[in-house]
Homo-oligomer: A and B are copies of this chain.
Amino acid sequence: MMFRNSSLLRRAVRQVSILRYNSTIAPLDSSRLTIEKTKQPKQKLPNDKLVFGRTFTDHMLEVEWTKENGWAAPKITPYHNLSLDPSTIVFHYAFELFEGMKAYKDKNGDIRTFRGDKNMIRMNKSADRIALPTFNGEELQKLIDQLLLLDKDFVPEGKGYSLYLRPTLIGTTASLGVSTPDKALLYVIASPVGPYYSSGFKPVSLEATDYAVRAWPGGVGDKKLGANYAPCVKPQLEAAQRGFHQNLWLFGEEGFITEVGTMNVFFAFQNEDGTKELVTAPLDGTILEGVTRDSILELCKERLPADEWTISERKYTIHEVEERAKKGQLIEAFGAGTAAVVSPINHIGFRNRDINVPVALGTSGELTAQVAEWIRKIQYGEEEYKNWSRVAK
């Protein structure tokens, strides 16, 4: 009885606080942006000196949020350190999430981003999952456009070169109690980058990993939370010590293939009847909802001959891949993600057995190269496709 009363009381208090909340909180509003330009511009590095995520542009975007007042006025200021109380929840309870996007310079010198609307949707889903504030994605895209225009000269030119954008949202409540954040900071930093793997478009070898599990049903593996990343580094180190570049994450006793390293993964199979299948795991809550993954599925469905290719989002196992390889039915395989875009695979180690993955063109399969080129053309504005490429203005 005590419990039911207190439940009713709590419900009433919640109603009141929702009402109060809605009456005062401010939405994210790009029109309130203020810009403070740097007085000490950085030197730009030549393309061959760029290391992924190591150097950053002159400016950064920040927007503070409080439960009481909502989103404050956005600020673009010179790139600077964050100063936070050591009790801040981002240091203790992983109240943190991010997005990965890239900006490209087109032949007219305009700066373009690729399907940022998808990143905004995913970022909001991530925020909601760990009780951080959500926001209007178009407003953040407008703010990112302003940052891009200001730091335009940092966007490197050339195939494979881009400006990597890192929208980040962290909980900034200074308290060790584990509860809902009442303060947060949304920020965006930008790093000029070349190809993710220093080796360039070269195939990688994977270790099929079943002793460590990246994600599980009812968990958060489909969200871009910091929490999904640190635990994957030790298995990656261990794979590297055995001579592999990345982990191929398996799930369950069946050995379902889920992702590779920090990317989605695709396999192309030849069927007995001569038709082909491009396969990737379905979005069942354990798979990151990759923008590159989604783009590849859409382009392949539209552009590959339907009488020749089936494009499948379905569960499949390492055993099927091994079996197909044995029969000569494994055509090719590749990872897909924003950082590396498309990453060809030439070898999988599974329980001390080798699965050799064909790379018909020497460094990749034919479809892998085709898909990479389709996406590159849209990203660099050489081809307009739907609303996938957005010019900053």
Contacts and interface: CB of A to CB of B under 8 A. Distances in A.
A178 B229 contact: yes
A218 interface: yes
Q: How many copies of this kind of chain does the complex include?
A: 2
Nearest to A199: B6
Contacts of A131: 230, 233-234, 237
Interface string A143-181: 000000000000000000000101010110011111110
A319 interface: no
A98 B262 CA distance: 25
A220 B187 CA distance: 28
B241 A178 contact: no
A130 B189 CA distance: 25
A93 interface: yes
A229 B93 contact: yes
Interface stretch (A27-35, A102-110, A208-216, A292-300): A208-216
Contact of A233 (B80, B90, B179, B213): B179
Interface stretch (A36-44, A51-59, A272-280, A380-388): A51-59
Interface stretch (A7-15, A65-73, A308-316, A364-372): A7-15
A232 interface: yes
Interface string A91-122: 11111101000000000000000000000000
A226 B3 contact: no
Contact of A177 (B52, B56, B168, B240): B52
A291 interface: no
A129 B178 contact: no
Contacts of A240: 10
A325 to B, nearest CB: 15
A364 to B, nearest CB: 15
Given A54-B175, A191-B176, A225 B94 contact: yes
Contacts of A327: none
A96 B230 contact: yes
Nearest to A6: B243
Which of A93, A213, A219 has the largest count of B CB atoms less than 10 A from its CB?
A: A93
A307 interface: no
Nearest to A128: B234
Interface residues of A, number: 81
A129 B231 contact: yes
Contacts of A212: 218-219
Interface stretch (A81-89, A133-141, A328-336): A81-89
B213 A171 contact: no
B95 A230 contact: yes
B81 A85 contact: yes
A227 interface: yes
Query: What 9 pairs across the A-B complex have the smallest Cβ distances?
Result: A53-B176, A7-B243, A213-B218, A93-B229, A94-B226, A227-B227, A216-B216, A94-B94, A130-B230
Interface of A: 3-4, 6-8, 10-11, 14, 51-54, 56, 60, 79-87, 89-96, 98, 128-131, 164, 166, 168, 170-171, 174-180, 187, 189, 191, 205, 210-213, 216-220, 225-234, 236-237, 240-243, 261-262, 346-347
Given A53-B87, A227-B231, 10 more contacts: A3-B346, A83-B83, A86-B189, A87-B191, A92-B98, A92-B229, A94-B230, A130-B230, A211-B218, A220-B231
10 contacts: A7-B242, A82-B91, A86-B187, A90-B90, A92-B168, A93-B230, A130-B234, A178-B236, A179-B233, A211-B218
